[in-house]
């Protein structure tokens, strides 16, 4: 007879992000046929009574389990890849999968350094025999294309020099573009795109501050979820962006895209996260098993700098 504890343990082992391998080993190693039958009966999510006298498994739940088991594998591989290949593959996947994944394109284009982004573009040539802008532009004919292509093509200046008068005039341009959003889509606004896609990050961060002071609200306050909001956040307040993304990933109703952010963000941003603190607490409860150990281990070691070459 399987104790209620065991049934609960089985359910828990499968319910997190990642799989609690140790718990499963403990459970199954000592499990005989009787035990297993009661496990099956006690887990209606995974097994249902078949009219032919056995508890049959639900194949789609099994598929979901596959996802969970693979998380560790995928995170390991992601972790081992050269950062350029990693970003190139993430970008290619996002382009292929379409609009719901464009936030990944924005994230990579906006949070990597100029040379890291260049590296990803070079890797893209090697891996896919095409340039990233080529693929991106031909896969998407909609309004987002302008901003996205411009973002991946950028090679932003990285020095600290910022011109105050330009910051002020461009804050106004963005203000006008956003205020008139219902009449004209900001994604079509040439000057807004120019500012977001070509200006240096220090410039944009100064602009963000100036905007808040001048207009009494942040650039992103009134924006809907979408690539424009992601773009501004990634460029101006990346830590806030990553915290938001990680938070969304561990929510109850998070979908696969949101959960995928965990590996992606933690593997690529461990320095940022380590500095920010408290991520570990947020994800402690939602992750399981080896996957959880890997993620927590990465965050803890966040001060080991990644090689940029």
Partner 1 sequence: MATLRIPAHVPAPSEDAEQLHKAFEGWGTNEQLIIDILAHRNAAQRNSIRKAYREAYGKDLLKSLDEELSSDFERAVVLFTLDPAERDAYLANESTKKFTSSNWILMEIACTRSSYELFNVRRAYHARYKKSLEEDVAYHTKGDHRKLLVPLVSAFRYEGEEVNMTLAKSEAKILHEKISHKHYSDEEVIRIVTTRSKAQLNATLNQYNTAFGNDINKDLEAGSDDEFLKLLRAAIQCLTVPEKYFEKVLREAIVGLGTDEWALTRVVTTRAEVDMVRIKEEYHRRNSVTLEKAIAGDTSGDYEKMLLALVGAGDV
Interface contacts to partner 1, rule CB under 8 A: 114, 118, 121-122, 125, 129-134, 137-138, 141, 145-146, 149-150, 153-159, 161, 190, 194, 197-200
CB 6, CB 27: distance < 8 Å: yes
For residue 271, how far is the Cα from the chain centroid? 16
Residue 133, exposed/middle/buried by CB under 10 A (0-12, 13-18, 19+)? middle
Tell me whether strands 55-57 and 47-49 are parallel, antiparallel or unpaired.
antiparallel
Nearer to partner 1, 64 or 198 (CB): 198
Min dist. Cβ of residue 94 to partner 1 (A): 17
Q: Give the shortest CB-5-to-partner 1 separation in angstroms.
A: 58
Least gap, CB of 209 to partner 1 (angstroms): 19
Q: Report the C-alpha gap between 25 and 286 in whole angstroms.
A: 20
DSSP 102-169: HHHHHHHHHHS-HHHHHHHHHHHHHHHSS-HHHHHHHH--STHHHHHHHHHT-----SS---HHHHHH
CB within 8 Å of 56: residues ≥ 6 apart: 47, 48, 49, 50
d(CA 55, CA 49): 5
Least distance to partner 1 from the beta carbon of 54, Å?
51
CB of 187 to partner 1, least distance (A): 13
CB of 134: closest distance to partner 1 in angstroms?
Answer: 4
DSSP tag of 98: -
Euclidean distance between CA atoms 115 and 128, whole angstroms: 20
79 or 114: whose CB is closer to partner 1? 114
CB of 268 to partner 1, least distance (A): 21
How many alpha carbons fall within 13 Å on the CB side of residue 84?
18
Nearer to partner 1, 27 or 197 (CB): 197
**Calpha distance 306→200 (Å, rounded):** 22
- Our CB check for partner 1 shows the closer of 153 and 212 to be 153
Nearer to partner 1, 15 or 126 (CB): 126
Selection from 74, 82, 86 nearest residue 291 by Cα: 74
Q: Which is nearer to partner 1, 157 or 215 (CB)?
A: 157
Nearer residue to partner 1 within complex by CB, 61 or 128: 128
């Amino acid at each position: 007879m399987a104790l209620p504890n065991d049934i609960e343990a089985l359910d828990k082992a499968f319910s997190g992000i990642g799989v609690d391998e140790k718990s499963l080993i403990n459970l199954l190693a000592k499990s005989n046929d009787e035990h297993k039958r009661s496990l099956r009966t006690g887990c209606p999510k995974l097994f249902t009574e078949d009219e032919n006298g056995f508890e049959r498994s639900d194949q789609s739940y099994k598929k979901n389990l596959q996802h969970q088991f693979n998380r560790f594998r995928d995170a390991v591989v992601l972790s081992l890849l050269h950062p350029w290949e990693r970003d190139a593959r993430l970008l290619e996947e996002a382009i292929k999968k379409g609009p719901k994944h464009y936030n990944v394109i924005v994230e990579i284009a906006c949070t990597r350094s100029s040379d890291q982004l260049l590296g990803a573009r070079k890797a893209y040539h090697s891996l896919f025999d095409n340039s990233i802008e080529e693929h991106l532009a031909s896969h998407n004919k909609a309004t987002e294309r302008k901003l996205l292509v411009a973002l991946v093509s950028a090679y932003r200046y990285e020095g600290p020099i910022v011109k105050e008068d330009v910051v002020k005039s461009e804050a106004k341009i963005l203000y006008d573009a956003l205020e008139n959003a219902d009449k004209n889509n900001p994604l079509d606004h040439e000057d807004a795109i120019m500012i977001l896609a070509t200006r240096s990050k220090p410039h944009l961060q100064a602009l963000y501050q100036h905007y808040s002071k001048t207009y009494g609200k942040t650039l992103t306050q009134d924006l809907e979820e979408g690539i424009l909001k992601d773009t501004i956040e990634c460029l101006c307040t990346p830590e806030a962006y990553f915290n938001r993304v990680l938070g969304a990933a561990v929510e109850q109703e998070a979908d696969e895209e949101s959960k995928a952010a965990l590996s992606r963000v933690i593997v690529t941003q461990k320095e940022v996260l380590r500095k920010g603190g408290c991520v570990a607490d947020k994800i402690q409860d939602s992750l399981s098993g080896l996957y959880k150990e890997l993620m927590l281990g990465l965050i803890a070691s966040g001060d080991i700098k990644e090689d940029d070459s």
